[in-house]
């Protein structure tokens, strides 16, 4: 990872523009036969200050997808990363279906959860927004979920709909994706940039009004 031109380029840009970056990468495992699906946090000074290797791998027979064939599962969900925008908990895609992971991070005073993802279109249409809102509500945290969209290859398309959810479960931002004007199954090739305001006062207010962690 320390020699990756891609990562080094992001570190340089983060420092140049004083902009924190959360990005997903693949890192060879110790034996070299698989990779780790890793989310890293690059601070506004260009340093890698946090990382997480995906624990819950996506093996989905209905779509003929087996992430475990090429990816080694991470060992644990750690604690949040202290960042310029708050305490951030790093999770990835299929982790979204496992509330124990987000609740563990909430117990460590996480204020923002990130889920970079590539949901399939069928599962995205059924569950994506519901799961994101559920994780936000039960942890009383912001949820930021950047989502790949469009065709990867002839076998696989992703749902999109990158979202930001507030601590009360309200959708602050929805970037759109499959099933929108372009139609389900569209390639949706054009990129978009979304901006949302994170107000940690809303996190504090939600937790003070309904102190869920005090009752668990």
CATH number of 5-215: 3.60.110.10
pLDDT of residue 173: 98
pLDDT of residue 181: 54
pLDDT of residue 190: 60
pLDDT of residue 185: 47
pLDDT of residue 189: 53
Which of left, alpha, beta for 37 (phi over 0: left; psi -120 to 50: alpha)?
A: beta
- Helix H or strand E segment including 12: helix 5-17
pLDDT of residue 215: 80
Q: For residue 66, list its beta bridge partners.
A: 59
For residue range 69-122, list pLDDT tens digits in order. 999 999 999 999 999 999 999 999 999 999 999 999 999 999 999 999 999 999
Give backbone dihedrals phi and psi of 60, rounded to 5 degrees, phi first.
Answer: -130, 95
Residue-range domain boundaries for the chain: 5-215
Cα(159)–Cα(20) distance, integer angstroms? 26
The low-confidence residues of the chain, meaning pLDDT below 70, are 179-191, 216
Q: Which is it for strands 171-174 and 149-153: parallel, antiparallel or unpaired?
A: unpaired
- Helix H or strand E segment including 113: strand 112-114
What are the residues whose beta carbons fall under 8 Å from the beta carbon of 205, sequence distance 6 or more? Answer: none
| Other CB atoms within 10 A of residue 89 CB | 27
């Amino acid at each position: 990872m320390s020699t990756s031109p891609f990562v080094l380029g992001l570190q340089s840009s983060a420092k140049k523009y004083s902009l924190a970056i959360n990005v997903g990468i693949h890192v060879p495992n110790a034996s070299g036969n698989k990779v780790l699906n890793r989310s890293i946090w690059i601070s506004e000074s260009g340093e890698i200050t946090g990382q997480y290797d995906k624990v819950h791998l996506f093996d989905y027979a209905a779509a003929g997808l087996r992430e475990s064939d090429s990816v080694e599962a991470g060992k644990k969900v750690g604690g949040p990363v202290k960042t310029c925008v708050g305490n951030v908990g790093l999770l990835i895609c299929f982790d979204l279906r496992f509330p124990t992971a987000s609740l563990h991070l909430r117990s460590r005073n996480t204020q923002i959860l990130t889920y970079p993802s590539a949901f399939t279109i069928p599962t995205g249409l059924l569950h994506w927004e519901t799961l994101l809102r559920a994780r936000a509500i039960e942890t009383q945290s912001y949820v930021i979920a950047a989502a790949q969209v469009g065709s990867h290859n002839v076998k696989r398309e992703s749902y999109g709909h990158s979202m930001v959810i507030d601590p009360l479960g309200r959708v602050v931002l929805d970037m759109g994706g499959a099933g929108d004007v372009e139609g389900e199954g569209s390639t949706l090739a054009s990129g978009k940039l979304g901006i949302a305001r994170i107000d940690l006062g809303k996190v504090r207010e939600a937790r003070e009004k309904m102190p869920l962690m005090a009752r668990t």
